[in-house]
Amino acid sequence: MTETIPYEINGKEGEIEFRKYPSVVLATVDSDGNDSGFNLLFAYITGNNHMQQKISMTSPVITSRQIAMTAPVVSDAKSMSFVMPPGQRRDDIPDPLDSRLRITTLPPREVAIIRFKGYARLDEVESAEERLLEGLKKIAIEPVGAPFLMRYNPPWTPGFLRQNEVGIEIQR
């Protein structure tokens, strides 16, 4: 069974859940929008790294995408990230052999999420993003950055059993 990054629930408003996450290390690759980064990341955790070390798969797999925003910084890249096992620091993680991968550390942060089931088709993700952003606006909570998708299940899991979330960092 895949380990999930820990978090602390610190509130709920309708379908929106508020969570505090600890600092986490991510292996990230920019992709062309069709999940092509998955194979690069999977190769990395199965030993395609400087130490030829296998790294445990941890959920969720995090995907970002370009979203029209009025914020001063807008990224046009879509990325996919694997979360490294909980409790590991950047120094504990082997460097990738493939220069398209980067290892970064996210500081502790608070995230608002909405859960949904299914294959995380674009229309389902966009609907969850819209509900999340509208819900936060109604309760006057300021989002930070752009929404991202978190998927928790292996590709062979039937759609009705898949757990997904759309999240966004918040400041309150």
Closest CA to 148 of 59, 74, 64, 79: 64
Could you tell me the residue ranges of all domains in the chain?
3-171
* 123-155 pLDDT, tens digit each: 999 999 999 999 999 999 999 999 999 999 988
Closest CA to 36 of 75, 93, 77: 77
The average confidence (pLDDT) of the chain is 90
Indicate the pTM of the whole model.
Answer: 0.88
So what's the pLDDT on residue 65? Answer: 67
* 81-136 pLDDT, tens digit each: 999 999 999 999 999 999 999 999 999 999 999 999 999 999 999 999 999 999 99
| 3-state SS, residue 37 | helix
The CATH superfamily holding the domain 3-171 is: Regulatory factor, effector binding domain (3.20.80.10)
Phi, psi angle pair for 38, to nearest 5°: -60, -45
